[in-house]
Amino acid sequence: MAPIKSSLSRTVGKLLRVQKETDLSLRGDKQRSKKKSFEATGGDATYTPGNGYKYHKFTTSGSLVISAQEPVNIDVLVVAGGGGGGAYYGGGGGGGGVAHAESMPIASGTYPVNIGSGGTPPAGPPNSYTGDPGSNSYFGTPGQGIGSQPDYILAKGGGGGGKGTEVAGLTGGSGGGSGGGDPAPADGQETQSGTNPSPFVTDYGNPGGFSTPTGGYAPAGGGGAGAAGGSINGDLDGAGNGGNGRAFPTFAYPLVGMSPLNPRSPSNSHYAGGGGGGIYSASATGREGKGGHGGGGAGGGSPSPFPENGIDTLGAGGGGRHGGDIPNGGDGGDGIVIVRYAV
């Protein structure tokens, strides 16, 4: 017969081991439950770059689906499509409007995401058009939100660049630049400011530049999310530069993937740069306008270079067309929506 003390010790030891294993199991269940308390899916790509955040990048329209036990805070960058450059010594296209939400509370649900396209020249004879405006980007559904705080975020498409002496730059998230010529038309005004009433959202947009030539043909640059388009007084300095886009370091490349061929943004963090104006002819003084930081297309010269397109996924404006025989100005770049949250 085994000693009673030894048998009792083994029994107590087994009970302690079982209790410890149970505690560890419950602790693990709690940790797993905590990790599963918030999940999000959606986007063309997701990134976890090691800075404490996860990013969902939308370059095409879709939905963000959130499953959360309680509201969580997210940051959202919404960039609309950029405006196209104007024809025939045309103004640069305006960058798409930009809306930036910080620490916005959001609950479980499905949130539609729309990506605005850049403005493209309409079909028809050359020399006859302003640049097409870009289209809107948005996140969420109007009327959706927590309490009285909406979580619908809208960015308005950039305005197209004006054509020659006849048409002003178009209004938009950032306005298009005026065409060249004498007398000169007006610049395009920005419409993004005050678009989103949420206290968590800041809107960015600027007007296009305007041209006051003295018998010449220097068009102005399109507005960018961070600065107005370059204006021109006479032809001595050439066409106006596109306004620089707005820099968002927390949404910079490579945090959200590879840079989209963006030499026009020194820090790879600018979005929605304006397009530069085109110069009329080889006899015109000066040079074509440069594209703004954030992917803005440069304006056309004569006989070259041709106007550049705004860069896609940056919502940049296209460059204005020069006075040669190519059809129209550069296309605006498509927009983007990026969502991030702490992990």
How far apart are the C-alpha atoms of 173 and 137, rounded to whole Å? 11
How far apart are the C-alpha atoms of 234 and 218, rounded to whole Å? 7
Look at the block and give the residue holding tokens 């963000």.
Answer: 64
- Which own/partner contact pairs does 13-19 have at CB distance under 8 Å and 24+ positions apart? none
- Which own/partner contact pairs does 189-192 have at CB distance under 8 Å and 24+ positions apart? 189/159, 190/94, 190/97, 190/159, 190/223, 191/97, 191/156, 192/97, 192/98, 192/99, 192/155, 192/156
Amino acid at 172: G
pLDDT for 133: 94
How far apart are the C-alpha atoms of 113 and 116, rounded to whole Å? 10
In the predicted model, residues of the chain with pLDDT beneath 70 are: 1-36, 122-128, 146-149, 165-167, 181-185, 213-217, 233-237, 259-266, 280-286, 323-327
pLDDT for 308: 93
pLDDT for 12: 45
Residue 229 token pair? 């388009």
Tens of pLDDT, residues 36-51: 578 999 999 999 999 9
How far apart are the C-alpha atoms of 164 and 175, rounded to whole Å? 16
* Beta-carbon count within 10 A of 275 CB: 55
At residue 25, the 3 state secondary structure works out as: helix
* Beta-carbon count within 10 A of 236 CB: 11
pLDDT for 205: 96
pLDDT for 151: 85
